[in-house]
Chain A
């Protein structure tokens, strides 16, 4: 057992020494790893922005349910509470005919002709219920619900038909974006991983002679691999910490700008909340890239 700890300690020390002695090689490898990990986490943020953007867009879509001109207060509150109880419905907003007129007037107060004709007509506007669904795909169900007989005498018309193409396009767009994002992030992660692996392989190629010498004087494979594994893990940890720092700096400057473009996408806030899981994920990715990369790369030189 004590031989095990002795050997383990020697492997650690040797890995650390190799790391210090191959500083330039380390720098090159770590830079590539930083790029790879930065890229992978960058995708999380792109996804985050995309999602916020979609939520924002979805919030802009709703159905306007126009009620009959002479609808009673009671009927309004019935249909309103019916809708609120639906699972699919996120929010219901009632605008009475008077309120609609007021906001219409406010909007067009400069248009004298319009104002004059309004004076003669009285209030031509209908009271309206703006219904917002949880998801874009649920509007159909809500419209069907309102098609029931008991609502016929309350509901005048539903303008879902006008917004339907937009809603359809939006929900298929949502699906495409999430599927496409997944595929792109997998491809980019693979590419980044491959580039890192190749860098490590080149580094290992430099050591092929050393490795065969160690074999010939009788070192076991694990005694040879160990220090390279340790070195790879050190690379991974340093790369992860550097990436997190780099990410924080870029978010610090970019987040406010992105937030003004895509309201509600508080990337810096997300970073702060998820700091530890992010660091954990990045260190994991770094160790996996560095450690497994060097294990695989060294394999063929251990055959002597």
Chain B
């Protein structure tokens, strides 16, 4: 069954070390995500949603347990192999993580340049994806010249640009108005239909209840619910 999952968490715990003691962000999480799933991760603020995604991306290492990506234990990836994992995942970061020294255009292009995509393809794809997220008129802006929502959309554009197998979306609508929120949700659904696995972390009750897809609910680092066609219950 292992190879049926794109992503599998086995008994994963994460304890952060801080100055005033330890903080258990995740406790014994077991989770299997099938290809083409649209999985929502629900839970209140501080419950461990971002931590779950960070472990998957290798930004943080689990204190205990194993995480598999297409059957490979990601703890076994070395620093030089990590980029190969990350290029197969597109991440929309909760804090955007745009390169402050580069314009919007360059930020998106960077994700293609670093894998050696030809310039022609880049010049064709980047304006398209910027159009998709409604940033066509801001291509030459630097991140500090953008509003919160615009930064969020730039981050979304970067996650989509290289057509990854999996998209991790951490509160992708946190800074958006209602109209934009539903645009983004519809966009994610569309991408999912085209075959991309999506993991969406959010504490937005409206989104979860309207999606009618699989939902896991985390509270204080524990998965307390895992339902197909789930609703936001807490």
| Residue among A22, A213, A302 making CB contact with B98, cutoff 8 Å | A213
- A301 CB to closest chain B CB (Å) equals 12
Our pick among B59, B100, B116 for the contact of A216 (Cβ within 8 Å) is B59
B20 sits at the interface (CB 8 A): no
On whether the beta carbons of B83 and A210 are closer than 8 Å, the reply is: no
Cross-interface CB contact of A210 among B59, B99, B158, cutoff 8 Å: B99
* B91 CB-CB contact with A under 8 Å: yes
B66-81 CB mask vs A (1 if < 8 Å, else 0) is: 0000000000000110
How far in angstroms is the closest Cβ of chain A from B151? 13
**Chain A residue nearest in CB terms to B111:** A217
Q: A10-B113, A303-B79, A304-B59 are in contact. Are A217 and B101 (CB under 8 A)?
A: no
Q: Which B residues are in CB contact (< 8 Å) with A218?
A: 83-87, 89, 111, 114-115
Say yes or no: is B191 at the interface (Cβ < 8 Å to chain A).
no
Is B86 a contact partner of A217 (Cβ separation < 8 A)? yes
Number of interface residues of A (CB under 8 A): 23
Cβ contacts A to B, 21 pairs, < 8 Å = A6-B119, A7-B116, A10-B113, A18-B101, A22-B101, A210-B100, A210-B101, A213-B97, A213-B98, A215-B86, A216-B86, A216-B93, A217-B91, A217-B97, A217-B111, A218-B84, A219-B114, A220-B114, A302-B79, A303-B79, A304-B59
A219 to B82, CA, bound (A): 9
Q: Which of A205-255 contact B (CB under 8 A)?
A: 207, 209-210, 213-221, 223
Closest Cβ of chain A: how far from B186's Cβ, in Å?
A: 24
Residue on A with the closest CB to B117? A6
Decide if A6 touches B118 in the complex (CB within 8 Å).
yes
Q: CA separation between A3 and B40, bound complex, in Å? A: 38
Q: How far is the CB of B58 from chain A (nearest CB, A)?
A: 8
> Which residues of A does B touch, CB under 8 Å?
3, 6-7, 10, 18, 21-22, 207, 209-210, 213-221, 223, 302-304
Number of inter-chain CB pairs below 8 Å: 59
Bound Cα distance from A217 to B160, whole angstroms: 12
**Contact at A216–B97, with CB atoms within 8 Å?**
yes
Contact indicator B158/A217 (Cβ below 8 Å): yes
| A213 contact set on B, CB distance < 8 A | 97-99
Report chain A residues within 8 Å CB of B104: none
Verify B110–A217 contact, CB threshold 8 A: yes
Chain A min CB distance to B199 (Å): 16
**Residues on A with beta carbons closer than 8 Å to the beta carbon of B59:** 216, 304
A207 to chain B: closest residue by CB = B101
> Is B57 an interface residue, CB under 8 A from the partner?
yes
A302-B79, A304-B59 known; 20 other A-B pairs, CB under 8 Å? A6-B116, A6-B118, A18-B101, A22-B101, A210-B100, A213-B98, A213-B99, A215-B83, A217-B91, A217-B110, A217-B158, A218-B86, A218-B87, A218-B89, A219-B114, A220-B114, A221-B80, A221-B83, A223-B114, A303-B79
Interchain CA distance A7-B98 in the complex, whole Å: 21
**Residue from the list A207, A209, A216 in contact with B91, Cβ < 8 A:** A216
A87 to B158, CA, bound (A): 79
Given A210-B101, A221-B79, A216:B114 Cβ within 8 A? no
Closest chain A residue, CB of each to CB of B118: A6
Would A214 and B99 count as touching, CB distance under 8 A? Answer: yes
Within 8 A of A (CB), among B89-144: 89, 91, 93, 97-101, 110-111, 113-116, 118-119
